[in-house]
Amino acid sequence: MKKYKYSLETGSKKYFCPACNKKTFVRYIDNETGNYLHESFGRCDHEVHCKYHRKPETEFIENYNYTPPPIPQSFHNYNLVSKSNSHFKENNFVQYLYNIFSNEKVKNVIDKYKIGTSKHWTGSTIFWQIDNQNNVHHGKVMLYNINDGKRAKNNEGKGYISSVRSVLKLNDFNLKQCLFGLHLVNNETKYIAVVESEKTAIVMSIIMPEYIWLSTGSLTGFKYENLQPIRKYNIVAFPDKDCFNTWQTKANELKKYGFKINVSDVLENSNLPKGSDIADIVLQPVKKIKIPKNIYYDSSFTSYDYEICKKLILDRKTEEPKDCFDLNGTPITQSQSDALIKLMMLQL
């Protein structure tokens, strides 16, 4: 009897087929050494539907005409969202919001964005990605410092970030992300603002509620696949400091597909450090920021320069302006100072 150098392994042991991804694959072994050949050499037992068979002597795939079907997208059960929407005294990020905004506004934004609490790390937050069909795509778990609202980091300087699918060990979960806050978009939506961070979208929705604030969740999340559901709307994008060119280039590409996007360079024109976002303009003392001169509000306003802008520090807890005056010593009302801050950010 002729002894072959290679042969299919005998027995019931099966592996995942490189073509159909079913556990029906028998691998070739070297009969002299007993070792497996490369994992691409073998035969799928699905001989009717798959027909994958790569023999070691031919170095090519015979009868390979199978295209595996796409794996269905996975969604979380909405009950997870509802169950997580509690225990906010144990949620660092929510407690930070209560420190700087009124109770009513924080409660509204919690319900608006379906903010959740996680036990994965003590004090951690869940940002749910829910689309405009109420499908739950993703739950991002993050930990923030309660005092300054910054992301907490471990001893290696890495942020605490995980996901609901990882925490629940959903190994077969087929993730396809969407914009954070997408469930807020409807036919009555007029203007949409897009930022990178979920935290920023939430904070800015309190400061400027006339916009629907959405988050990409990452720098690379600013792409067609994520933005396609909001293509028909007027969009203002606020990239983080030093990310303007990346988002501007992508916006120019998207405009070819009918998107109406303007990318703000207000962060690029500030002296905030790299990585700062639009919320830092509102939440940090204005006197630390390089403000463009000669900003106008309406006919009742004269030109405003740095000396005025640096005084626009509002107490967001009581929602009252703190020592805001124009050049003539006339007090600036809260609505006027809010409008001026918006002009500084939107450059309208």
Domains identified in the chain and CATH numbers: 1-69 (no CATH), 72-178 (no CATH), 181-280 (3.40.1360.10), 285-346 (no CATH)
Distances from the Cα of 328 to the Cα of 159, 236, 324, 332, angstroms: 47, 34, 11, 11
pLDDT of residue 120: 97
Distances from the Cα of 41 to the Cα of 24, 52, 177, 202, 209, angstroms: 13, 10, 34, 52, 59
Tens place of pLDDT per residue across the chain (348 aa): 456 778 888 877 888 888 888 888 999 888 888 888 888 888 888 766 777 888 886 444 344 444 566 789 999 999 999 999 999 999 999 999 999 888 999 999 999 999 999 999 999 999 999 999 999 999 999 999 999 899 999 998 899 999 999 999 998 899 999 999 999 999 899 899 999 999 999 999 998 888 999 999 999 999 999 999 999 999 999 999 999 999 999 999 999 999 999 998 888 877 788 888 988 877 764 333 333 333 333 333 333 333 444 444 344 454 444 444 444 445 545 555 555 555 455 433
Beta pairing partners, 71? none
Determine the Cα–Cα distance for residues 82 and 80; give it in Å rounded to an integer. Answer: 5
Determine the Cα–Cα distance for residues 181 and 47; give it in Å rounded to an integer. Answer: 46
Beta pairing partners, 44? 25
169 and 160 Cβ atoms separated by less than 8 Å: no
pLDDT of residue 208: 86
How many other CB atoms sit within 10 Å of the CB of residue 111? 10
Beta pairing partners, 158? none
240 and 247 Cβ atoms separated by less than 8 Å: no
Contacts 24+ apart (CB under 8 A), 74-79: 74/165, 74/170, 74/172, 74/173, 74/174, 74/175, 74/176, 75/135, 75/136, 75/137, 76/128, 76/136, 76/137, 76/138, 76/139, 76/164, 76/165, 77/136, 78/134, 78/136
